[in-house]
């Protein structure tokens, strides 16, 4: 029988203190054992598609830190890659793709989609067997808007101007692209759940660059389609939505998309965060640079989150992914601070 998976309970609205904890990008370049596994793989995509090594790097932070949740090691861009788009990763530059043109949107090839992603599903299956019973397993995908920004520009950009211009100049092509990504992303999440994921998270890392109308069309609507599709088959699986940088637009995101819980970035004010938590579970929202700094800055950041949000359903996390230069000792300091906290 599975152990009590506290992250699942909290995401469903149960308050727990100290709160459960995990970190976005917790398997990654700040760990020497990860760097060794990536060296063995030969490249980042090779690591994502190698179940032996993907399982290993997913388990590394659980062995080292004992987090309450483990998130599948993969990348948001495996979805367009599985649809036939080229993808490579270069050190210091990140993901690189051939920019998709308006006329190519309807040529995305989904025939071998699940075959191409079979190594990911195998990784999830093996993780659920190898993780401690009490450790929640989180699957994930990128939100259609964020994935589309990389497909359109071919690389990361500071403000996603290429994708925004594409949407203004070719709105119907953008709608079709987002709908295709929503449909396929929902299938991807459902396969992860079938393989053993307890929770899924939708990462919309570039939600914060859009105006209100575009946020509605490009962020809320595609995520709503994903959530509806997943819920038809898995109504009880918690879904975390993370529209990073959404600001005031966070306020209606949960109700309009149907996600169970909200991932908060570090810029969300406490008054807003408390209001959002009153409507359901929240996750976050430590500034990753406090974790890099350590010491007093880190302790104050942890204490503020626990003081402001610790009485309600909270999954302690960062407000974005951990950065490669983060000292391991600071991660240990953060965990000790959270788990050693006393209820007030």
Catalytic residue among 75, 198, 265, 287: 75
Judge whether 272 lies within some domain: no
Looking at residue 343, its pLDDT comes to 66
Catalytic residue among 25, 244, 254, 337: 25
Phi-psi region of 84 (alpha: psi -120 to 50; beta: other; left: phi over 0): left
Residue 25 annotated in active site: yes
Looking at residue 263, its pLDDT comes to 98
Judge whether 293 lies within some domain: no
Looking at residue 1, its pLDDT comes to 38
Q: Can you tell me the distance from the alpha carbon of 150 to that of 153, in angstroms, rounded to the nearest whole number?
A: 5
Surface-to-core class of residue 220, CB atoms within 10 Å of its CB (0-12 exposed, 13-18 middle, 19+ buried): buried
H or E element at residue 83: none
Q: Can you tell me the distance from the alpha carbon of 306 to that of 315, in angstroms, rounded to the nearest whole number?
A: 10
Looking at residue 92, its pLDDT comes to 79
Judge whether 179 lies within some domain: yes
Catalytic residue among 30, 49, 150, 250: 150
CA distances from 219 to 101, 175, 183, 233, 257 (A): 21, 11, 14, 22, 9
Catalytic residue among 35, 38, 128, 231: 38
b/e string for 300-337 if b means 16 or more Cβ within 10 A? ebbeebbebbbebbbbbbbbbbbeeebeeebbebbbeb
Residue 38 annotated in active site: yes
Q: Can you tell me the distance from the alpha carbon of 23 to that of 224, in angstroms, rounded to the nearest whole number?
A: 25
Judge whether 208 lies within some domain: yes
Judge whether 248 lies within some domain: yes
Looking at residue 130, its pLDDT comes to 98
Q: Can you tell me the distance from the alpha carbon of 45 to that of 137, in angstroms, rounded to the nearest whole number?
A: 21
CA distances from 61 to 66, 204, 276 (A): 7, 24, 29
Q: Tokens at residue 216, please? A: 């509605």
pTM across the whole model: 0.97
Judge whether 67 lies within some domain: no
Judge whether 70 lies within some domain: no
Looking at residue 342, its pLDDT comes to 77
Length of the chain: 344
Judge whether 311 lies within some domain: no
Q: Any idea what the CATH number is for the domain that residue 235 is in?
A: 3.20.20.210
Residue 35 annotated in active site: no
Domains of the chain: total: 1
Residue 126 annotated in active site: no
pLDDT tens string, the chain, 344 residues long: the values are 356 899 999 999 999 999 999 999 999 999 999 999 999 999 999 999 999 999 999 999 999 999 999 999 999 999 999 999 999 998 878 899 999 999 999 999 889 999 999 999 999 999 999 999 999 999 999 999 999 999 999 999 999 999 999 999 999 999 999 999 999 999 999 999 999 999 999 999 999 999 999 999 999 999 999 999 999 999 999 999 999 999 999 999 999 999 999 999 999 999 999 999 999 999 999 999 999 999 999 999 999 999 999 999 999 999 999 999 999 999 999 999 999 997 65
Catalytic residue among 29, 64, 175, 231: 29
**Given the structure tokens 């949000």, which residue do they identify?**
309
The answer to whether the beta carbons of residues 22 and 261 sit under 8 Å apart is no
Residue 34 annotated in active site: no
Range of the domain at 252: 78-125+139-262
CA distances from 15 to 20, 142, 214, 248, 315 (A): 10, 28, 34, 25, 9
């Amino acid at each position: 029988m599975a152990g009590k998976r506290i992250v699942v309970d909290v995401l469903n609205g149960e308050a727990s203190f100290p709160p459960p904890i995990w970190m976005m990008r917790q398997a990654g370049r700040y760990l020497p054992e990860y760097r060794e596994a990536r060296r063995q793989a030969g490249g980042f995509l090779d690591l994502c598609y190698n179940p032996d090594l993907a399982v290993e790097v997913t388990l590394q932070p659980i062995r080292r830190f004992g987090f309450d949740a483990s998130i599948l090691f993969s990348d948001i861009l495996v979805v367009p890659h599985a649809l036939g788009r080229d993808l490579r990763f270069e050190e210091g530059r990140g993901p690189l793709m051939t920019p998709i043109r308006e006329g190519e949107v309807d040529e995305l090839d989904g025939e071998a989609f699940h075959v191409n992603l079979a190594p990911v599903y195998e990784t999830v299956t093996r993780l659920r067997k190898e993780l401690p019973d009490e450790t929640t397993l989180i699957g994930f995908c990128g939100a259609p808007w964020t994935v589309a920004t990389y497909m359109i520009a071919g690389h990361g950009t500071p403000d996603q101007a290429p994708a925004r211009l594409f949407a203004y100049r070719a709105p119907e092509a953008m709608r079709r692209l987002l709908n295709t990504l929503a449909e396929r992303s929902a299938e991807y999440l459902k396969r992860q759940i079938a393989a053993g994921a307890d929770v899924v998270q939708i990462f919309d890392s570039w939600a914060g660059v859009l105006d209100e109308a575009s946020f509605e069309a490009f962020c809320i609507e595609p995520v709503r389609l994903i959530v509806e599709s997943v819920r038809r088959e898995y109504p009880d699986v918690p879904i975390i939505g993370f529209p990073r940088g959404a600001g005031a637009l966070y306020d209606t995101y949960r109700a309009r998309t149907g996600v169970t819980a909200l991932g908060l970035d570090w810029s969300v004010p406490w008054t807003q965060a408390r209001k959002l938590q009153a409507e359901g579970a929240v996750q976050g929202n430590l500034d990753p640079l406090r974790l890099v700094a350590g010491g007093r800055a880190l302790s104050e950041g942890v204490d503020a989150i626990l003081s402001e949000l610790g009485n309600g359903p909270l999954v302690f996390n960062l407000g974005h992914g951990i950065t490669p230069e983060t000292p391991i000792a600071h991660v240990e300091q953060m965990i000790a601070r959270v788990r050693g906290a006393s209820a007030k």
